[in-house]
Amino acid sequence: MNGKILKTKPIHKARVFDLVREEVVLPNGMQMELDIIRHPGASAIVPMKDPQTLLMLVQYRHAIGESIWEVPAGTLNDGEDPLECAKRELEEETGFTATTWEKLGEITPLPAYSDERIHIYLARDLHPSQQNLDPDEIVQVREVPFDNALHMITTGQIKDGKSISSIFLAKVYLGR
């Protein structure tokens, strides 16, 4: 069941995404205009420092005016493979590299108005490297026991959707 795009009009080109207005025919035959965020996609990482401990970030997010708990993640560069993005972001944000990588899945966080897809990876066998934050990244790296991260989700301390999805996918994958 697919719709059909009749016309696309650029509305705004931002640093990370484009906003377009599409004239579409929906699968039920209804014709309408929709505003869509076109996003290059991203990768998110659940980095396991050891079998019981993951690395998380406390990161300032200006859009919501607070610092929140998150897994490392970042936007795909043009033509970049999602795994390569995950490797780059892990090192940039945490100062660690990983030897072992497993893809846990993919999510579409805002499918009503964005085509963004986030590829989620489990990273193990971590090795210290060099953190290299972007100028707008205000980040603290924290070690969190895996079971504490699950508790932090259920008590609302972790509220970032990609992080909740990533941690629960890791929980299932690891059989916890």
Tell me what pLDDT residue 115 has: 97
What are the structural domain ranges in the chain? 4-38, 42-174
38/17 Cα distance (integer angstroms): 6
Average pLDDT over every residue of 113-121: 98
| pLDDT-above-70 percentage for the chain | 100
Tell me what pLDDT residue 137 has: 80
Domain 42-174: top CATH class: alpha beta
| pLDDT over threshold 90, residue 133 | no
How sure is the predictor about 138, in pLDDT bands with cuts at 50, 70 and 90? confident
| pLDDT over threshold 90, residue 135 | no
Tell me what pLDDT residue 132 has: 86
What 3-state DSSP class applies to 35?
strand
The phi and psi torsions of 159 (rounded to 5 degrees) equal -125, 0
Q: pTM score, two decimals?
A: 0.94
User: Mean pLDDT score of the chain, rounded to an integer?
Assistant: 96
| pLDDT over threshold 90, residue 53 | yes
Tell me what pLDDT residue 122 has: 99
Average pLDDT over every residue of 111-134: 95
Average pLDDT over every residue of 81-86: 98
117/51 Cα distance (integer angstroms): 28
38/129 Cα distance (integer angstroms): 33
106/109 Cα distance (integer angstroms): 10
